């Protein structure tokens, strides 16, 4: 019998974000997209815009988790 999936993990075993962390990534995505979009208008389209958010929210926390794991394992060693 397999263990039930902990509520903090999703169907892929990825971490679910808390409210504050989620808000942080959304605001980061918005500020960076608007900031760049004002001067690089080609970014302001229906493909890049949605992808920008999905990529930030998906990849950002994964990178942070990897860095944290690496620094923890190097501290243990």
Partner 1 sequence: MSWAAHQFEIYAVHAHLPRKMQAQVSYFGIYLGDFTPDFLSKFWVYGFNYNGHHYGSKVPERWHRGWPGMGITHTLFLGVIFAAIFWAWKRNRAFTVGYVLGYAAHVLTDVNDSVGVMLLFPFTALSWSLKTWAYAATIGGGKYLDAASYYSSLGLVMDLFWMVVVLCSWRVFTREYWRTKVVPADPHIWAWFGRRLPERGLLALYRATFFYGVCRMIAWSTWAHLVARPVINGVQHHGYPMDLSWTGPWWLDARSLHHVSPLLVLPAVLLLLTLVYWVANRLWEPMGRAQDAARARRSSSSRS
Residues making contact with partner 1 (CB under 8 A): 10-12, 14, 16-17, 22, 26, 29-30, 33-34, 37-39, 41, 44, 46, 49-51, 53-54, 56-58, 61
Rg, the chain, Cα only: 16
CA 43 to chain centre: 20
Q: Which is nearer to partner 1, 39 or 73 (CB)?
A: 39
For residue 33, give both structure tokens: 């997209």
Shortest CB 70 distance to partner 1, Å: 20
Query: Closest distance between partner 1 and the C-beta of residue 66, in Å?
Result: 14
């Amino acid at each position: 019998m397999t263990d039930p999936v902990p509520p903090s993990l999703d169907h892929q075993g990825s971490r679910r974000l808390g409210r504050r962390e989620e808000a942080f990534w959304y605001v980061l995505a918005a500020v960076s997209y608007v900031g760049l979009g004002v001067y690089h208008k080609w970014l302001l389209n229906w493909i890049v815009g949605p992808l920008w958010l999905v990529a930030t929210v998906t990849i950002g926390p994964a990178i942070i988790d990897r860095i944290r794991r690496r620094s923890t394992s190097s501290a243990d060693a």
